[in-house]
Chain A
Amino acid sequence: MSAVETLPAPSRERYQALLGEAAQIRGISLWKDAWRRLKKNWAAMGSLWFLCALGLLAFFTPLLPLQSPQHQISDAEHKYQPPSSEAVTLEYDDRERRRLEQGIELDKQELRRVEKEIGELHRRLDRLPPKPEGTKTAAKKKPATVETAAEKERGAIEKEKAAKEKEKEALKGQLEGKWLAHPLNRLWNNPGPLTWQLLKARIAVFGKWSVPSLCGRDELGRDVLARIFWGARVSIIVGLVATLVSLAIGVSYGAVSGYLGGIVDTVMMRIVDILYSIPFIFIVIFLITILSEDSIKARLARWGIDQIVIFYFVIGAIYWLTMARVVRGQIISLKHEQFVDAARTIGAGTPRIVFRHLIPNVLGIVIVYLTLTIPSVMLFEAFLSFLGLGVQPPDVSWGLLMSEGLKVITPLEIHWWLVVFPGVALALTLFALNFLGDGLRDALDPRMKNR
């Protein structure tokens, strides 16, 4: 103010007018501005709504009155049944469920009882004098009568224990059998706890009523519509998780490379260059064949890693290259941008520059690449499932559905619904993701600001 007041009158007025004008301009954050511009892009917004709806539907699939995705009806009428709007009831018997659940409960009680008895026997064994482990000569020195009594008791208990163990195994087998025969397990391949509750809610709300086979049935009489919905869950999760893996690797690698610069940067980027020129499809095919080898699979299963987890990480580990390059390039170019100098001139410290000025600018492009990586990851999943290397039955994914549909195309019979519906679902999703990615790129592009 004081600087303005010392000026001669005419320029003082001009400067005050300018200052007043400047005070009226409200700063708008990058994200608000981007959101405002994104809202104007109807294609991107439509895609966003579509994807939200898809995500919700996929998440609540168990709640929807769909048919079972794996219930097989292989009579001539249902095999390759074209799309129809005939009402279908679910092959679900509530009495059977109740009977089985009672059976399971009884078996569980029985199992607990047997386990308790085994524990009791164990304790009795422990209370007995320890087994004579010395040499025979040492044993002979002890009084014969005591020894035989203890030995006899031990023998009896051990025999009883073996019998109980056998009983326990039998019970476990029985329980397993009943568990597998449980309608929810039979119709929906071992759902997790959350899915289980959702399925129960679905039964409670809709009962046996289910949506007709609007998308036809496949070779084994399974409902394609239900399979598409359940496949969506797998396809979307693979897309998201694998992309997040690639995001984590790519951003940290790129940021480190960009920040450090110099020889470290050169070496790290050379590694990326080399990795870029590897035809990865080959490496993936190999990794997956190696990891699905029985002995390795068993070893991995002990650590709780199954095929699909491997799948996430293998795909994620491939798609980080572009992200690393992009982030590094951004960080390097931003380091020397004027706004960083400007921030430094008004006294911002390094952490503030990095977190308030650099990261938000990188975040925009990272989000754009994220939305563009998800479709390519989903495409890759479909591609691998199509070759029979991806998701394994009884899980379904869109790629797997497509490949099943394609396998049964013959010049004589075209079961078009087996290919068209999953294909359209996949294409629509990828379409929406691409539109959203492009829209976000335009919205976050600073050059488009205030246009």
Chain B
Amino acid sequence: MNPLVETLLVVGKRLGWMLLTLWVVYTFSFFLMRAVPGGPFASDKKVPPAIQRQLEARYHMDEPLPMQYVRHLTNAAVFFDFGPSMRMEDYTVNEVIAQGFPVSATLGIIALVLALLFGMTAGVISAVRRNTIFDFGFMLLATVGIAVPNFVLASLSIILIVFWLQLVPAAGWGSIQQALLPALCVAAPYAAYIARLTRAGMLEVLNLDYIRTAYAKGLAPRTVIVKHALRGAILPVVSYIGPATAGILTGSLVLERIFNVPGMGSFFIDAAMQRDYTLALGMVVVYTALLLVMNTLVDLSYAIIDPRVKME
């Protein structure tokens, strides 16, 4: 078969699974949310029944549940319209997402880049300088990074870096200094995992024949390590990017709160707590879609990095 057609088929199949997963997640969340007694208007001060009825009619909550489901699903799937937020006045869900998403995405990307940068550097150095002080130091640091929860790290770094040393501003969003500390705190455990994965991968690859060949034909050690060994060792790291993205997204949930970053995470928690059905549903769909896309990209990139892996 034509390789292009083959690729398209694989991508199409993946897309189908993605849509199915999204639908399952959507349906489950939809009915789970509606299972909660007391709607989003229940905790408000007593409103006259007529107004209550009107409110419910406005949000189509007076219809039978299956009809609400079909209506909301069609709007969301066909028009990408998640309707108005039930709690935040004058906001539609799309507006809230449009506001929060770029912030969260920026934070996530900075964190991911930092994690890859620090993790891979530390991993390569400890593999090449195996059993030296560098190796032990980095691996100890990595274990600390995995063991310390990110909010502990965040609070300790707030005390140390913000209040005592006063190097960066405490909270908020807008400048690169403000983004740096939250991004570092989110990235720390993932940098640690990546360092360990890189080290293990490098140790396996460094003993292989093709590395000896590369040295034998007179290449500089730097070229051998960066161009030849790293490429072979990087596969576990690539497959870890998927879960790492998921973790960074969830991790930023709580760090956005601590550092007062106006991203999706803070809206997400509030929406769930206040039972803002439409907003929470929109958020979970966006988060899930993001994860699925990342996982698919990671799987596809296998084939590009390692020619031995065939797309199934």
Contacts and interface: CB of A to CB of B under 8 A. Distances in A.
Physical interaction between A and B: yes
Interface of A: 273-274, 277-279, 281-283, 285-287, 289-290, 293, 295-296, 375, 379, 382-383, 386-387, 402, 405-406, 409, 411, 414, 416, 419-420, 423, 426-427, 430-431, 433-435, 438
Nearest to A389: B273
Contacts of B275: 289
A375 B147 contact: yes
Contact of A402 (B25, B155, B272): B155
Given A414-B159, A416-B159, A282 B280 contact: yes
B155 A289 contact: no
A380 to B, nearest CB: 9
Given A279-B246, A282-B287, A416-B159, 8 more contacts: A285-B269, A286-B33, A289-B272, A379-B149, A386-B151, A402-B152, A409-B163, A414-B159
B254 A387 contact: yes
Interface size class of B (residues with CB under 8 A): 35 or more
Interface string B131-154: 000000000000110111101100
* 6 shortest interchain CB distances as A-B pairs: A431-B147, A430-B147, A423-B152, A285-B272, A279-B287, A427-B148
B295 A426 contact: no
Nearest to A435: B143
Contacts of A411: 163, 170
B158 A409 contact: yes
Contact of A427 (B36, B147, B170, B283): B147
A285 B146 contact: no
B32 A283 contact: yes
A232 to B, nearest CB: 15
Interface string B243-255: 0001001100110
Contacts of B258: 406
A237 B9 CA distance: 49
B156 interface: yes
A58 B254 CA distance: 28
B170 A278 contact: no
Contacts of A433: 147
A266 to B, nearest CB: 13
Given A277-B21, A289-B36, A427 B152 contact: yes
A20 B156 CA distance: 64
A278 B38 contact: no
Contact of A409 (B20, B144, B159): B159
B155 A430 contact: no
Contacts, number: 117
Nearest to A270: B17
Contacts of A286: 29, 32-33, 36, 272, 280
Contacts of B167: none
Contacts of A281: 250, 253
Nearest to B160: A416
Interface in B16-44: 17, 20-21, 24-25, 28-29, 32-33, 35-38
A423 B152 CA distance: 6
18 contacts: A274-B20, A278-B28, A278-B288, A279-B284, A285-B269, A285-B272, A286-B280, A287-B32, A289-B36, A290-B36, A383-B254, A387-B269, A402-B155, A411-B163, A420-B156, A430-B148, A434-B146, A435-B143
Interface in B70-99: none
B268 to A, nearest CB: 7
A387 B143 CA distance: 25
A381 to B, nearest CB: 10
A386 B149 CA distance: 11
A402 B151 contact: yes
A140 B284 CA distance: 73
Given A277-B288, A431-B143, A295 B37 contact: yes
Contacts of B158: 409
Contacts of A383: 149, 151, 254
Contacts of B234: none
Interface in B251-274: 253-254, 257-258, 268-269, 272-273
B29 A419 contact: no
B103 interface: no
B292 interface: yes
A279 B275 CA distance: 17
A273 B291 CA distance: 12
A106 B51 CA distance: 57
A283 B283 CA distance: 12
A431 B144 CA distance: 7
A282 B170 contact: no
Given A281-B250, A285-B272, A289-B275, A426 B24 contact: no
Nearest to B151: A386
Contacts of B21: 273-274, 277-278
A282, A287, A423, A431, most chain B CB atoms within 10 A: A282
Contacts of A419: 152, 155-156, 159
B143 A434 contact: yes
A411 B163 CA distance: 6
Nearest to B33: A286
A277 B295 contact: yes
Given A289-B36, A290-B36, A431-B143, A426 B152 contact: yes
Interface string B185-209: 0000000000000000000000000
B273 A289 contact: yes
B36 A293 contact: yes
B141 to A, nearest CB: 12
Given A277-B21, A427-B147, A282 B272 contact: yes
Contacts of B254: 383, 386-387
A289 to B, nearest CB: 6
B250 to A, nearest CB: 5
Contacts of A277: 21, 25, 288, 291-292, 295
A282 B291 CA distance: 14
B269 A434 contact: no
A281 B156 CA distance: 24
